[in-house]
Amino acid sequence: MAHAVPPLRPGHHIQLLEGSREFFPALVAAIDAARTEVLLETYIFDFTGSGAEVAYALERAGRRGVLVRLIVDGVGTPGMPPFWRDRFEQAPVQWVVYSPVGRFGLLWPGQWRRLHRKLCVVDGTVGFCGGINILDDFHDPNHGALASPRFDFSLRVAGPLVPEMQATIERQWSRIEALGELRQAHWSGALELLRSATARLPARRAARGTEHRNVRAALLLRDNLRRRASIERAYLRAIGRAREEIIIANAYFVPGGRMRRALVNAARRGVRVCLLLQGRYEYFMQYYAARPVFGALLRAGVEIHEYAPSFLHAKVAVIDRRWATVGSSNLDPLSLLLAREANVVVEDRGFAARLRERLVAAMRDEGHRMDPAAYERRPPLQRLKERLALVVMRVLLAIQGKKYL
């Protein structure tokens, strides 16, 4: 059924990975162990610092006969360095660009419908899903070197969700290919030949942290077809059922009316509601457009903590120490109305406890709790910037044919 939230299924092994410093070694180990196929989708593929380690792993896989397919977004990854273009061609690594930006840029209708997912599947048995781009923790494409690492999470998954993730990437590749948007020559080797050529390769595995076993989980996708509201509905359902605690960490938090009302209602019925949000200026629209909605939340008793050491890029939540989600979807109109997103929902007390522990520590040690009185006294210039950001967001949404706030 359209917009339905898929049921949670048992039998998953899931590992929480924080930042590229944990995610990249696990991803590289999986790619280095690949025998037949590596499928990777990412919004940003940046070759600076440790991002290059992933690129070299893809190249190694291609050179030993593994079918490697990479999808990048036309805004997040507007170009590939010639050095890597040549290496990928020689390996070979197939790569395509989702929705390259034309001469009218993002003002053209439909151009804000981006591929924001971060998915990878290796040999159809191991999958990765989260919010982390192929981007070094200590580097930002717009702000340069970072003094502290970016705060973000991903998951390593084995179990029934992996074929769903694989089918998702394969469908996207086929759609791009059908539209003639290939940006790299296809390798003509057949998959069966690849399997034969790599059948005797020794498998290698990454050193692991805590792996949670026999976990119930579901893959939530947001697209512009049948799954336009799956992620938002999953959040609303979990928030509506909360009885004790809601912790949400979100990079670009501009919730619509339904989400705001759900959080306010939860706080009013005695649920502790904590938001860990971006405390450092990154993008004008996302930073300032969020602030006008804080007033109603603060008045209802919602705690708002702003992350201070670096950029917060996480899109995660833990509710009642049992339900959790990790993925690429922000709680803002760009994610919930326009972009292709992927989140994994996990129902497991052990996993939820591990994620909650990290979020609580970040709020306690690395965040500043917003004072409701100080919020009400914010200066006129800041209020003007907030109004301007909201106007810009509404205009962009109108161009895309959407209404949200």
The per-residue pLDDT for 182 is 45
Mean pLDDT rounded to a whole number for the chain: 89
pLDDT digits (tens, 9 = 90+) for 67-116: 999 999 999 998 899 999 999 999 999 999 998 886 656 656 567 789 99
User: Among 143, 175, 198, where does a domain finish?
Assistant: 198
Do 84 and 172 have their domain in common? yes
263/391 same-domain check: yes
- Are residue 228 and residue 341 in the same domain, yes or no? yes
Section 337-361 average pLDDT: 96
What is the Cα gyration radius of the chain?
21
What is the reported pTM?
A: 0.90
Residue 402 is predicted with a pLDDT of 73
Would 405 be classed as within a structural domain?
Answer: no
Task: Give the per-residue pLDDT at 301.
Answer: 98
pLDDT band at 61 (very low <50, low <70, confident <90, very high): very high
The number of distinct structural domains making up the chain is 2
Co-location of 193 and 229 in the same domain = no
* pLDDT score recorded for residue 211: 83
Same-domain status, 146 and 23: yes
Pair 190, 285 in one domain: no
- Domain end, chosen from 153, 175, 198, is at 198
- Please give the residue range of the domain that contains residue 64: 11-198
Residue 266 structure tokens: 């939860």
Co-location of 73 and 219 in the same domain: no
Question: Which residue in 8, 6, 5, 4 sits closest to 217, CA to CA?
Answer: 8
Q: Is residue 4 assigned to a domain?
A: no
Shared domain check, 217 and 182: no
Per residue in 230-283, pLDDT tens? 999 999 999 999 999 999 999 999 999 999 999 999 999 999 999 999 998 888
In a domain, 63, yes or no: yes
Residue 87 amino acid letter: R
- Residue 187 pLDDT > 60, yes or no? no
Active site residues: 116, 118, 123, 313, 315, 320
